[in-house]
Structures are given as C-alpha cells and as structure tokens.
Amino acid sequence: MKKLLMIAAAGMMAGCFNSQELKPDVTVEPWGVTKFGESASLYTIEGKDGLKLVVSDFGGRLLKCFAPDRTGNFEDVTLGWNTIEEYEKLGFSMSTLIGRYGNRIANGKFTLDGVEYKLPLNEVKPAPRNCNLHGGPDGWDSKVWKAKPFAKGDVKGLELVYVSKDGEMGFPGTVTVKVTYSVLPGNVWRVDYEAVTDKPTVINPTHHSYWNLAGEASGNVLKQNLMIAADEYTMTDAGLIPTKNASVKGTGFDFTVSRPIGAAAEWMAQQDFLRPMDNWYDHNFVIRGKAGELRIAAEMFDPASGRVLEVWTTEPCMQMYGAQNMTTDLPAKAAGKSLCQFAGVALETQHYPDSPNHPEFPSTVLRPGETFRSVTEYRFKTR
C-alpha cells in the first residue's frame, strides 16, 4: 500500500501548531448561533493587492471572495448564503471545510489494522447510493472552530483549530487539525492543512468552495473555460463509488486543453453510465506530477471578465462537481436573486474517494507520531 503524504512529527503537538501574534489587520464581527447553540463569527481578510475574503469559524466557510477583473473591478466570485440557518438547511456542502474524510466511503465501512469501523450513512438516495459522504451528517463543516487572526508582513489570515474526538462520526482516534487561511501578495488564497492523531485513523480534508468567475448569481458557468491537469479520471459505479481509472482522451472528461465547461454537454447526455450523475460531472481527476509537491491542478477562465483562477495543490487528486443539482429555488447572497443549475463549479483537492477500501489507491491512513500536511492555493489573475 502506498504511503500517505505526511511527515513524521517529533511530538503530537510540540511546535506543530504555533500561532502567530494577533494583529488588527483582520476584522471580526458576530454572525449568529448554530443549531448546536454555538456562537459563530465572521472574519474579513483583505490582502495587499485587493483580494478580500469573508470567512467564518463555523465550518471554515468561505462566504465571500472578492477578486478583480481585467479592468480592476472586484466581484464576489464564490457561491454561498447570508445566514447560518441557510447553510444548515440547504446543504450542498456549500463553501465549507470538509472532514474527517472528504468524498465518499462505500457503505459507511472500512477496515483498519483488522478492525472494522462503521460510519453513519448520509447519502442513501437516490438508490443505489449508500455511503458516508464528507465525513457524515455532523462532520467538520457543522462545527465552530477555534479561530485566531494573524498578520505577518504582507501575509494576513486566520488559523482554525478543531479537536475531533475519538469515535466522532464513527472514525477512530482523537484528531487535532489546524487549517490556516492565508491571503498572500499577488491575490493568492493559500490553505494549509495539518493534523495529528492519538491512534490510527483515516483522514482526507478538503474545501468545498464553488466558483463562478463572472460573479455569484450571474448565471451558469457553462461558457467559462476550464483546464484540468489530468490525463485520467476515476470511473464510478451507479452509487458513485470508484471502480478504476480511465483515460480522459476522447471523452467529455478531457480538460487537458482549456475549453468551455459545457463544451461536452451533448456527449455527456448520451452516456448511460453517467445517468446517476445526471449526465454531468461529479468525478475524481488524477492530477499530473508528483503528489506531495505543489503543482497546478486546474485553471478556470471567464472570457467576459478576464478573471482567471488557478488551483495548485500537493494532493494527488481533485474532484470536479458541476452543480447540476442546484435549482432556482436556492437563494443567492445578492438580494432578490437566486442560484440555478450549473451556477458554479467545485474543484475539491483531495485523495481518492473511498481510499480506505482500495489498497491500490494512495493511503489516507494517519498514525500516531505522524503529521498529515497538505497545501492548496487559489491564485487569482486576469488576462
């Protein structure tokens, strides 16, 4: 079995989660109370070159992301909602941190060191879906994390720490995780993941932001271009559980050259094996290059505004989800507007789905004395 991308730690916590000095460069305001009675806050982080994020300690959500177009006008380019109640009610893993395990685990079961662990099933419809999705119904997205703003020179950001107890959502081991959001010069949002555990477990965190470079609630993204640095994607069964890798060549999954997201709509519509995904995208792509090294995974481009988003990652894979299940019944952040089908695209850097049940995939096992580390950067540019 291939080894998980992680670095041995000298101690469980020693030197691993050193926080930087608090600075007033990141503003904070109260947001509301979750269904569990926890108070949540909003943090606004504005970078040297104008990139501005509004994030919450409630699930590490990215509520707003203001990026410039080719004329210097800033627009919110991520999907989301305005209230805690909307995030809790409407779902879609909207713009949140995902854990302990991103994506699907078949039948909510896996075996580690000879012990079978059972997880809650929170995706059982439409049949034959039967899995634990994104860590379960009360995953890391439902928690209020301990937050600490920081500023160091031209880098501003927020540290988010959460302790996931042994047995939470059925997963073994008490895991302490720190996720650091940094806004860097050059309009880069960097996300650093670190985690340690007190007993063997599995871990696969990701971020579930949805992007629309024309601006949220501006319509669908089918005419926006996408490049994915992947020669293979992972096929699935009807329950969306991985089966094997396949070449993207000659298929609607070929984004090796930048093209409109909707360019292969006719091909997708004709494929019977894609019916469980509504003949659209909800698939894992195997990113070129060496996992563990920061490299480009995707580039999204809006020809109308000139906005470009590059996604760089150390992870081996990236899930593309095309928001085919969104409807006009879903509110937008902008007053009086709504979302729609294909209103954005999620580009989730990750390990393979269902890795604990596939020894042929890179391992997601984390053991005591080791530190899981992963980096993803969202680089905003124009052309």
* pLDDT tens sequence across 204-236: 999 999 999 999 999 999 999 999 999 999 999
* pLDDT tens sequence across 165-202: 999 999 999 999 999 999 999 999 999 999 999 999 99
Does residue 351 carry a catalytic annotation? no
Residue of 159, 168, 207, 208 with catalytic role: 208
Residue of 159, 232, 348, 370 with catalytic role: 348
Mean pLDDT calculated for residue range 282-303:
98
pLDDT of residue 25: 77
- Cα dihedral sign, 8-293-351-330: positive
pLDDT of residue 14 exceeding 70, the answer is no
Does residue 348 carry a catalytic annotation? yes
118 pairs with which residues across the strands?
A: 109
- Predicted TM-score (pTM) of this structure: 0.93
Mean pLDDT calculated for residue range 86-92:
97
The domains located in the chain, with CATH, are: 6-382 (2.70.98.10)
Place 3 in a pLDDT band, splitting at 50, 70 and 90. Answer: very low
* pLDDT tens sequence across 302-353: 999 999 999 999 999 999 999 999 999 999 999 999 999 999 999 999 999 9
pLDDT of residue 107 exceeding 60, the answer is yes
What's the first-to-final CA gap in the chain, in angstroms? 43
pLDDT of residue 13: 38
pLDDT of residue 8 exceeding 90, the answer is no
Cis amide prior to 61 (ω within 30 degrees)? no
Cis amide prior to 128 (ω within 30 degrees)? yes
